[in-house]
């Protein structure tokens, strides 16, 4: 990757995008997406990054406020101190800061977008991917009314989504799954528990084997790897780890213990695109399937996830859905749409391939800050 002479300006934004409908998981319900964005500009070229944290520390200990603090106070000063730098040099300097993967990923991705644009190439080419059709996947939140869940699945089937994920929580899994399989016996279906169960629920979790699921995502505690290894030995259905995986070392531990057969790689959770690539390479070499998870990202984060899936290790459909599924209006164009066959095209153009619409950014912005680089 080429070197960057210097960053001329840095800007941080927090935006709030209303969701089309409330999105409920075992962690709670969301009615809007709050996103922290970073813009890095060198001469007339701007690179953008999106933080995948939330306002509350429910999915992760990181929040938009903590990420804002870490980016402003520790990460951006590293860039300001180095002239004519490479991304490798920046990432090595970031290693002194423990944790805060979501904050680090925001900066790394903005630099990757900037570099790709400076070279006049799409992001997937910069990271070693190949242009291909991207499989679609939809995540459907918990519905109090199972008929409403069935209607949402029906819409996804008509759209030809390649995989359907439904959120579950304790006491809200067996009846909905029975109804879903009764009505849609052949769809590729998975469930996501967002850590709502414990080892004491093993007998309940074993009943999920009856529903021909692709996987059960993160059934146990968000920071657990060991107890997942116990239940994976008892289940026929593959376990997929999500929240438990924050680094390559976590992956190695999970594989050695036999804690899962599949890993959800959320590039923002593991520290950025480059860390995600390292993890998918290791998984591919060890027979572990991976897919790209989503965090209700705006079009910026959604574009990064699409480019990531051009790498060969991503053989399962990810959380990659149409923009209109979640937002009536995004801050970028073009919107992500499904083709008639359910596949998604990679956004065309340099860098991440989507363009920020200034008027929309301004309309949805609740906080902005410009950081002086000199």
Structure confidence at residue 266 (pLDDT): 97
The C-alpha atoms of residue 230 and residue 301 are separated, in whole angstroms, by 34
What tens digit of pLDDT does each residue of 333-358 get? 999 999 999 999 999 999 999 999 99
DSSP codes, 228-282: HHHHHHH-SSPEEESTT--SHHHHHHHHHHT--SEEEE-TTTTTSHHHHHHHHHH
Greater model confidence, 122 or 42? 122
Q: Write the CA distances from 143 to 140, 172, 324, integer angstroms.
A: 8, 9, 19
Contact 131, 124 (CB under 8 A): yes
Phi, psi of 36 (to 5 degrees): -95, 125
Tell if the pTM clears 0.85, that is, is over it.
yes
| Mean pLDDT score, 13-25 | 91
CA distance 154 to 338: 16
Which among 33, 143, 167, 172 is annotated as catalytic?
167
- Domains of the chain (ranges plus CATH)? 9-120+355-371 (3.30.390.10), 138-333 (3.20.20.120)
Cα–Cα distance, 152 to 149 (Å, whole number): 5
pLDDT-derived band of residue 168, with 50, 70 and 90 as boundaries? Answer: very high
Residue 219 has pLDDT above 70, yes or no: yes
The question of whether 160 is a catalytic residue gets the answer no
* Whole-number Å distance between alpha carbons of 217 and 138: 14
- pLDDT of 160 > 80? The answer is yes
Q: What pLDDT is stored for residue 372 in this prediction?
A: 78
Q: What is the pLDDT of residues 287-317, one digit of tens each?
A: 999 999 999 999 999 999 999 999 999 999 9
The per-residue pLDDT of the chain, averaged, comes to 94
Residues 271, 105 contacting (CB under 8 angstroms): yes
Query: What is the predicted pLDDT for the residue at 1?
Result: 59
Residue 373 has pLDDT above 80, yes or no: no
Task: Give ∠ CA 74-94-98 in degrees, rounded to 5.
Answer: 85
Q: Is 266 a catalytic residue?
A: yes
Q: What is the mean pLDDT of residues 114-126?
A: 95
- Please state at what angle helix 87-94 crosses helix 101-119, rounded to 10 degrees: 170
The catalytic position among 39, 143, 172, 266 is: 266
Share above pLDDT 70 across residues of the chain, in percent, rounded to a whole number: 99
Tell me 221's DSSP state: -
Residue-level pLDDT at 5: 73
Residues 6+ apart with CB under 8 A from 321: 136, 137, 138, 139, 161, 294, 336, 338
Tell me the mean pLDDT in the region 206-231: 97
């Amino acid at each position: 990757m080429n070197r960057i002479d210097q960053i001329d300006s840095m800007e941080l934004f927090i935006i709030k995008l209303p969701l089309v409908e409330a999105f409920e998981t075992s962690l709670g319900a969301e009615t809007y997406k709050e996103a922290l964005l970073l813009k890095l500009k060198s001469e007339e070229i701007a690179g953008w990054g999106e933080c995948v944290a939330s306002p509350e520390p429910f999915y992760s200990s990181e929040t938009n406020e903590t990420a804002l603090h870490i980016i402003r106070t520790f990460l951006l000063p590293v860039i300001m101190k180095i002239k004519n730098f490479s991304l490798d040099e920046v990432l090595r300097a970031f290693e002194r800061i423990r944790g805060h993967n979501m904050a680090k990923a925001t900066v790394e991705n903005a630099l990757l977008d900037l570099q790709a644009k400076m070279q006049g190439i799409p992001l997937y080419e910069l990271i070693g991917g190949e242009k291909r059709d991207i499989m679609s996947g939809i995540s459907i939140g918990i519905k109090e009314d199972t008929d409403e869940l069935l209607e949402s699945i029906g819409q996804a089937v008509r759209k030809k989504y390649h995989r359907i994920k439904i959120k579950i929580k304790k006491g809200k899994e067996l009846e909905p799954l029975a109804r879903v399989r009764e009505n849609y016996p052949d769809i590729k279906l998975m469930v996501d528990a967002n850590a709502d169960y414990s080892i004491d629920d093993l007998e309940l979790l074993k009943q999920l084997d009856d529903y021909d699921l692709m996987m059960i995502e993160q059934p146990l505690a968000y920071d657990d790897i060991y107890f997942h290894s116990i239940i994976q030995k008892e289940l026929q259905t593959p376990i997929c780890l999500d929240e438990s995986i924050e680094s390559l070392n976590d992956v190695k531990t999970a594989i050695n213990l036999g804690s899962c057969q599949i890993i959800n790689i959320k590039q923002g959770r593991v520290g950025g695109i480059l860390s995600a690539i390292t993890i998918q390479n290791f998984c591919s070499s060890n027979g572990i399937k991976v897919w790209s998870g989503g965090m209700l990202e705006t079009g910026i984060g959604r574009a990064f996830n699409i480019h990531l899936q051009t790498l060969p290790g991503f053989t399962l459909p990810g959380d990659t859905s149409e923009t209109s599924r979640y937002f009536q209006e995004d801050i970028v164009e073009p919107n992500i749409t499904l083709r008639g066959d359910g596949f998604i095209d990679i956004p065309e153009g340099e860098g991440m391939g989507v363009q920020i619409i200034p008027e929309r950014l301004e309309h949805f912005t609740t906080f902005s800050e410009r950081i002086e680089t000199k």
